[in-house]
Structure 1
Amino acid sequence: MTHAPEATEARPEPETTRGAPMAQPTAFEAGAEFDRQVRTLTELGYPATAGLAPERFGAAVEPLRAVAVASGNTRCEPGTGRVPFVLVVTRNLAPIGETMPRTTLHGGRLPGFVDRTYEPGALERFVATEETGLAGQDAYLLLDVERGEEFCGAVPHDAMEAIAGRGRTLLTIEEGIALITHFPQVLVKNKCFSLGGSRAGDRRVPALWISQKAPKLGWCWEGNPHTWLGMASAGARRTA
């Protein structure tokens, strides 16, 4: 039977500083944006989760700042589902079960959660595909990120093939969580997205959508389309 996710959305609340820049396109300086993302992770407790003091956590990801700066100053449009780069910390340092509850909707307060249809041990089996080239990585930058709403209504398997044909890469679970952690504006009603870069050797494709006024990590069958569920992708990954 098809797993049918819900498509509800939290009522917008006043803007907060978390997730800035806001929904309108804004120019930003890449180094300052990188620093903001490090602060976001630090404030959310990622250093403690990784077993590091905040200073050591900052030092560990600092080499990636040069990669961010090299990407250039550009426009950031999270409201349109596109951002230039995202700082990703993988499950090697911060388990999914601990990072997903640290997400919220833009302007929301309720913590994100993992859908109960992930049976015990399932998250551990949903790993980065070989195509991502992510074996052993702890932290890196994801560049030229799109939530992929053009694929809303498309069969996920077909969407994944189309993205591969463009030379782009599918987002993993950790990358999807990182995207909505740094830019919660990206996850909105009818423009949610699948994360085809993490698979468990079956027909399930992880996805992020909105349920109970909070972000939810669920999954859908690779052959079943949903009108409100696209396919997220990126241009590249860069390590220090």
Structure 2
Amino acid sequence: MPLLPSLDAQAERLVALGVHERAGLTADELRAFAREAGGERTDVLLAVHPDRAPASALAPLLRREGKEGFVVVDMPDVDDFAPSGVDVPDAPLYLVAGVDRGDHMSNWSPEEALPALTKEDRTPLLLSEGIHWVLQEPAALERNRCFMTIGSRLRKANGTLDARTPAIWISNGTGRDGRARRDAPKVGWCWWGNRHTWLGFGSTTGRSV
């Protein structure tokens, strides 16, 4: 995967998209965080906490071949998918290190991938982190090389986890997506026990402020 833009450039990208306003931050606060974290660094992803900038607000900011990103219609509860088994800094802005798409786990199920990531001392990306990554580096999303973000799960009223797991891939413009959305970035879901040949598992070596 290509290097990320510098932290300073990432901050400018988020400002240009208006993410700071959605998160209740000023442009100067976002820029200052990036600068103080080492503005020229290209080894970490700048992320806004999902409580401040949820997936439903970020997905439409994605672009691919001029097409706007979207959330599938049968995922109206996308923002209820919260960090599960993942320690996220209690801060509006934080850094995500060692981001990887997990291509070597293509055709694994989430159920199989999670323990393997843990064994590698990695944790799965949150959905919001995955979207941030593609916002900053669109090449992270390739046809037949996309990824799940199983760090975000939905806990049901009875305490059990919903069997759906979020993922980011490229629409084929079929079914309810609509032909006009062919090639657009798509936030959708897969079953916990199912495998998909075109989906790896986004993960990180750690998060910090």
Give the TM-score category using the shorter length.
0.7 to 0.9
Structure 2 residue 62 is the aligned partner of structure 1 residue 103 = yes
Structure 2 residue 51 is the aligned partner of structure 1 residue 92 = yes
The residue identity in structure 2 corresponding to 1:116 is V
The residue identity in structure 2 corresponding to 1:177 is I
Looking at structure 2, the residues matched to 213 and 92 of structure 1 have their Cα atoms a distance apart, in angstroms, of 29
Q: Give yes or no for contact 1:147–1:186 (8 Å, CA) kept in 2.
A: yes
The SS at the match of 2:6 is: helix
Structure 2 residue 176 is the aligned partner of structure 1 residue 219 = no
Deviation readout 1:193-222 (Å, 9 max, x if unpaired): 000100012111100000121111100001
The residue identity in structure 2 corresponding to 1:208 is I
Paired position in structure 2 for 1:11: none
Scaled by the length of structure 1, what TM-score is found?
Answer: 0.74
Looking at structure 2, the residues matched to 132 and 177 of structure 1 have their Cα atoms a distance apart, in angstroms, of 17
The SS at the match of 1:93 is: coil
How many residues get paired? 193
Structure 2 residue 10 is the aligned partner of structure 1 residue 40 = no
Q: Kindly tell me: are residues 44 and 172 of structure 1, through their superposed partners in 2, closer, same or farther at Cα, counting changes over 3 Å?
A: same
Runs of at least 5 residues in structure 2 that lack an aligned partner in the other structure: 155-160, 172-181
Looking at structure 1, the residues matched to 63 and 115 of structure 2 have their Cα atoms a distance apart, in angstroms, of 30
Paired position in structure 2 for 1:128: 83
Paired position in structure 2 for 1:113: 70
- Percent identical across equivalent pairs? 33
Deviation readout 1:36-63 (Å, 9 max, x if unpaired): 000100111112222343223333x246
The alignment's C-alpha RMSD in Å is 2.1
Looking at structure 1, the residues matched to 184 and 104 of structure 2 have their Cα atoms a distance apart, in angstroms, of 23
Looking at structure 2, the residues matched to 168 and 56 of structure 1 have their Cα atoms a distance apart, in angstroms, of 29
The SS at the match of 1:140 is: strand
Looking at structure 2, the residues matched to 238 and 51 of structure 1 have their Cα atoms a distance apart, in angstroms, of 20
CA displacement at 1:64 relative to structure 2: 5.1
Paired position in structure 1 for 2:207: 237
Runs of at least 5 residues in structure 1 that lack an aligned partner in the other structure: 1-22, 77-83
The SS at the match of 1:141 is: strand
Spell out structure 1 runs of 4+ moving beyond 4 A: none
Q: Give yes or no for contact 2:89–2:208 (8 Å, CA) kept in 1.
A: no
Paired position in structure 2 for 1:155: 109
The SS at the match of 1:190 is: coil
Looking at structure 1, the residues matched to 89 and 78 of structure 2 have their Cα atoms a distance apart, in angstroms, of 17
Looking at structure 2, the residues matched to 117 and 192 of structure 1 have their Cα atoms a distance apart, in angstroms, of 20
Deviation readout 1:10-46 (Å, 9 max, x if unpaired): xxxxxxxxxxxxx7x56x8xxx811000010011111
